[in-house]
Amino acid sequence: MALEPVLPLDRIDPNACLHDAKAIDALIPHRGPIRQVDRIVFAEPPLMIAGVKEVQNDEFWCDGHIPGRPVMPGVLQLEAGAQLASILDTLCHGADRFMGLVRIDEASFRGSVEPGDQLLLLGYRLKPAHKRRFVCHCQGLVKGNIVFDAQITGFTM
């Protein structure tokens, strides 16, 4: 059975910019090379969000994962999804707290992410907005193809 995107792609312009890197810095605490979301391109809190990671040739993992053919580690793809979910939660509840990753369920990888790729991140909240917890279905797409899919749960820390 083919996996479908969790958001309507016809409503998302991956080149748009609702929140740039500076605005994202005000929403989540991740900085420097660990921040995996470059911009938010679509948001309809409390349910939907989309962001983009422009995968560069000088990412910190390129030299060692995998030499000669760098591939973005799956754990960083999941981190990008978790950061996207955290941004959605912050847009709902404000930036006065930190949402930490506590669980990843049903994660699957269906393709690679390489330098030069634009990783489109999609997030759809699975449970109603809650002050202490979020559960979000997150996906990453490259050139319209789903490369990762996971259910991500975070909790106020």
Residue 130 annotated in active site: no
Cis, bond preceding 128 (omega within 30 deg of 0) = no
Phi, psi of 56 (to 5 degrees): -95, 160
In 10 A of CB 91, how many CB atoms?
Answer: 18
Phi, psi of 134 (to 5 degrees): -135, 145
Considering the candidates 65, 93, 130, 137, report the single residue annotated as catalytic. Answer: 65
E strand or H helix at 125: strand 118-125
Positions marked catalytic: 65
